[in-house]
Amino acid sequence: MRSIWELANPARFMRLSAAALPWCAGGAALALLVGTVWGFFLTPDDYRQGSTVKILFVHVPSALMAINIYAMMAVASVIWLVRRHHVSALAAKAAAPIGAAMTAIALATGAMWGQPMWGAPWVWDPRLTSFLILFLFYVGYIALWAAIEDPDAAADLTSVLCLVGTVFAVVSRYAVLFWNQGLHQGASLSLDAKENVDDAFYWPLLAMIAGFALFFLALLLLRTRTEIRRRRIRALRMARARAEEAREGALEGAADVA
Amino acid sequence: MSVFLALIRRDVTLALRIGGGGLLGATFFLIVVLLMPLGVGPDPAGLARIAPGVLWAAALLACLLSLDRLLQADHEDGSLDQLALAPLPLEAAVLAKATAHWLTTATPLIAVAPALALTLNLPAPAYGALIAGLVIGTPALSLIGAVGAALTVGVRRGGLLLSVLVLPLYVPTLIFGARAADQAAHGLPAGPSLLFLGAVTLLALAISPFAAAAAIRVNLR
């Protein structure tokens, strides 16, 4: 492949994604298996959190994906608006429900951890609140796709929504910091931080993150392929309806002449 | 410029002559505020604590109420197509419509807000920050709302969808607006929150006309 834009050709995308899909799915299964066994059974309990610390092996990767999927949708939306590549718009459409699911998983696992650790499944903390807002962004985006019939208009409008939403999502992220100082701990996976999560948890966590990323990629390829096929069926149906209309028109014309 | 002003005048006139205009929005604002003491109880100290947030949330909902008619009526009778063809750029037309929406929806809210704040027992030092916050912040509500209205103008019965799209975008405005009044109520300076609120409004002013005009062009295609 000489350039990434060659993937903009749906036929080429279908061919390449068909080849890549089993590798992504297999890699995801392997990384998730290794991460789960290593993280859940071969790491020590935390001295203060006990075994609940292991929720982080699902919570952190899903939260990471929830944010990055939205960023990916924003990039795909820009590509669609600028270069009009249909695969890009369909990839953004295909990614949204996965992102919403990841956000829901992050919120649910956070609640499971919060119940024993904070004494409450939900607190109005900046991170929790911005995730709830992120979830609402996903829901609105999916609802707008569903509400508009013409696929190109839907792609355009959802792209505009996604970009405006990105700006306000970033503003909201920092506005909620202003509103409440919060309970959620800071980042502990940064490359430049002095104190990160302990090595015992670090490597299985990396395996889980890789697993979630590959799992997302596999689902994304699968769902984008489905969307492309759905688009083809739509085009075929429209062509058939047009052909039938033309034939009926011709018959009527013949009857008029007779 | 004269076309711009004429468009504002037309929209304000239409809003005033059809459906009660701003009066209805202000009444809705009053009803939402009335629901709060009925819901949480009449304790004056408790009401004073939640007053800034209640007033801001009610203002948000009242602004939302009239948004689905912002472009819908013009889309249905074809005036939106005429606007798109007019020499005035569509971005400026969106700005004019948002201005008209602000004049007919937000100014009545700002006018009645002090009276409603009185019923909620808002502490005296907070009035200035509440009014200043509403004046600075409500233009953002109309501007962001114009984007939502433009996105859903082609959707039949898009009112609910519009709310789902627009309300998450209102979060920064709500936070900084309510925060300014809240800090003033506690004797803290409201200035920083008001400046942030102004920043959000300016951001909305910079983005919304272009996003809304792009969405309208798609819907008129």
pLDDT, one tens digit per residue, over A122-152 is: 778 888 888 898 999 999 999 999 998 888 8
How many Cβ atoms are within 10 Å of A142's Cβ, its own excluded?
17
For residue A22, the model assigns a pLDDT of 92
pLDDT greater than 80 at residue A1 = no
| B9 against A52, higher pLDDT | B9
* CA nearest to A166 within chain B: B169
Taking CB atoms and an 8 Å cutoff, what residues of chain B touch A80? none
**How large is the average pLDDT for residues B172-183?**
88
In residues, how long is chain A?
258
CA distance A156 to chain B (A): 7
Taking the whole predicted model, whether its pTM rises above 0.80 is answered as: yes
* CA nearest to B158 within chain A: A147
Least confidently predicted of A63-77, B117-131, B201-215: B117-131
- CA-wise closest residue to B125 among B175, B180, B171, B76: B180
| C-alpha to C-alpha distance for B99 and B209, rounded to whole angstroms | 11
Taking CB atoms and an 8 Å cutoff, what residues of chain A touch B203? 167, 171
* Closest partner CB to A133 (pick from B168, B208, B219): B168
**How large is the average pLDDT for residues A201-218?**
89
| pLDDT over 90 percentage in chain A | 41
How many Cβ atoms are within 10 Å of A204's Cβ, its own excluded?
22
pLDDT greater than 70 at residue A190 = no
Our CA dihedral for B11, B14, B19, B23, rounded to 10 degrees, sits at: 60
Q: For residue B164, which amino acid is it?
A: V
* CA nearest to A168 within chain B: B169
Least confidently predicted of A37-41, A197-201, B216-220: A197-201
What's the pLDDT tens digit per position in B9-36? 988 888 888 766 667 888 888 888 888 8
Q: For residue B177, which amino acid is it?
A: G
How many domains does chain B fold into? 1
Q: Give B173's pLDDT tier (boundaries 50, 70, 90).
A: very high
**What is the sign of the dihedral through the CA atoms of A121, A124, A127 and A130?**
positive
The residues spanned by each domain of chain A are 61-203+219-257
For residue B201, the model assigns a pLDDT of 94
Residues 6+ apart with CB under 8 A from B50: B36, B40, B120
| C-alpha to C-alpha distance for B210 and B190, rounded to whole angstroms | 31
CA end-to-end distance (rounded Å), chain B: 27
Q: For residue A89, which amino acid is it?
A: A
CB contact under 8 A, A147 and B167: no
- Does A33 contact B at CB distance below 8 Å? no
pLDDT greater than 70 at residue A3 = yes
Residue B87's domain spans which residues?
A: 2-220
- Does B111 contact A at CB distance below 8 Å? no
The overall average pLDDT reported for chain A is 85
What's the pLDDT tens digit per position in A19-28? 899 999 999 9
pLDDT greater than 60 at residue B150 = yes
Taking CB atoms and an 8 Å cutoff, what residues of chain B touch A178? 175-176, 179, 193, 196
CB contact under 8 A, B168 and A148: no
Task: Report the complex ipTM.
Answer: 0.88
CA distance A102 to chain B (A): 19
**Cα B67-B70-B73 angle, rounded to 5 deg:** 125
* Closest partner CB to A164 (pick from B164, B175, B211): B211
How far is the CA of A190 from the CAs of A128, A187, A196, A224, in angstroms? Answer: 20, 6, 7, 32
| pLDDT over 70 percentage in chain A | 89
Residues 6+ apart with CB under 8 A from B111: B26
How far is the CA of B12 from the CAs of A132, B16, B67, B152, in angstroms? Answer: 37, 6, 14, 22
Per 3-state DSSP, chain B is made up of helix, strand and coil in percentages (nearest 5) of 85, 0, 15
What's the pLDDT tens digit per position in B41-96? 888 888 888 888 889 999 898 888 888 888 888 888 888 888 888 888 889 999 99
How far is the CA of B125 from the CAs of B3, B80, B173, B181, B191, in angstroms? Answer: 42, 45, 21, 9, 13
pLDDT greater than 80 at residue A6 = no
Rg (CA), chain A: 23
- Does A166 contact B at CB distance below 8 Å? no
For residue A13, the model assigns a pLDDT of 86
CA distance B171 to chain A (A): 6
Contact yes or no for A158/B218 (Cβ under 8 A): no
For residue A195, the model assigns a pLDDT of 59
How many Cβ atoms are within 10 Å of A12's Cβ, its own excluded?
13
- CA-wise closest residue to A26 among A215, A169, A159, A191: A215
